[in-house]
A and B are shown apart, each in its own frame.
Chain A
């Protein structure tokens, strides 16, 4: 029983050490990344598909 407790404590300590050593992302970096990701073509596809008339898919790539 005592060995299980010791193992749990050791694992918990190891996890804490790993988490503490992992470089944290700056809030500015995370915010900027989120901003840029939200402007990606994949993120915009939903709105474009919702508004674009069905027959204009063939023209995709010619202009935009």
Chain B
């Protein structure tokens, strides 16, 4: 008998929650393929280590961008392999709840459910990421009070106001922490004349990246390829430079939070001043982001206890209480 699953199919990482067991898989959403034969060579962490370091016949790709499937066939193969790793076989077909960005189109929704069904799921239902995040962040969404959650993922940033188990206001932008990495890559190329890979850009972001000045700031040495000479070169980057490089992306995320606040009904808006907003998702870990949002919105911002796992925990709760919560699935009638 298959155990039902909840999947946070993120642009950056895929997490799987198994009913009655908890989180059983947490791996980067990356797949490595043999370009010539089409064979899968690695998935998850192993494939992630290959990004930018592969010979010509191997390609390590992220099949999701901006929370949407960019390559249907590769995504289906990745989901199939991930499900196999958690024990799903041809004879054990579980029900699956998948978290997706709220802004995805009808075509993208169908692509996700079809990919899951073809990968071995008996039934695939979708849930909006901010709703799952609010459940997983343990917010009191069963009460008639305003709960605001900001979920900053790899490819999307979503802000939602939730009350009485439903979404009251929602704002989403297809901008996330991968756009921060891309902005760092572009800045280093433009200002220092060296090319760096996406993994190096991510390391720079984690080492010295910030959305606002912080107390413990240091510089970082970055190695890349000189665009003029083609030789390896080292440059030193400062936190101010990185803040300047990523400013457009950070501003875009904060602007979407402000738009969501403006959409909230006044009765709920006053709750935010007391209860604050909750930040979840890997992008929320950017240093100085919470104080910056707090400064620009004048609303307290709190970090969820488990920001990376909140979404899959929320979806996991839905799979544990499937019948009572099936009205929350996308496409289902709201109660």
* Known contacts A35-B165, A48-B313, A51-B309; is-contact A64 B278 (Cβ 8 Å): yes
User: Could you say which of B138, B164, B302, B309 has the most chain A C-beta atoms within 10 Å of its C-beta?
Assistant: B138
Closest residue to A59 on the B side, CB-wise? B305
What's the minimum C-beta distance from B154 to chain A, rounded to whole angstroms? 21
Which residues, 300 to 320 on B, are CB-close (under 8 Å) to A? 302-306, 309, 313, 316-317, 320
Q: Give the A-binding residues of B (Cβ under 8 A).
A: 17, 21-23, 135, 137-142, 164-165, 278, 302-306, 309, 313, 316-317, 320-321, 324-325, 327-328, 335
- CB-contact partner of B316 in A34, A41, A51, A64, under 8 A: A51
17 cross-chain CB contacts under 8 A: A31-B327, A35-B324, A35-B325, A38-B324, A41-B138, A41-B142, A43-B321, A47-B22, A47-B313, A48-B313, A50-B21, A51-B22, A51-B23, A51-B306, A51-B309, A51-B313, A63-B303
A39 adjacent to B135 (CB under 8 Å): yes
A61 to chain B, nearest CB (A): 10
Contact A40 B142 (CB under 8 A): yes
B22: chain A residues within 8 A (beta carbon): 47, 50-51
Chain A residues with CB under 8 A of B305 = 52, 56, 59-60, 63-64
Residue pair A38, B321 in contact (C-beta under 8 Å): yes
Cα-based distance from A56 to B325 in the complex (angstroms): 27
Contact A64 B304 (CB under 8 A): yes
Task: Please give the distance in Å from B99's CB to the nearest CB on chain A.
Answer: 14
Report yes or no: A35 in contact with B335, Cβ–Cβ below 8 A.
yes
Q: Is the CB of B138 within 8 A of A44?
A: yes
Taking the closest CB of chain B, its distance from the CB of A15, in whole angstroms, is 30
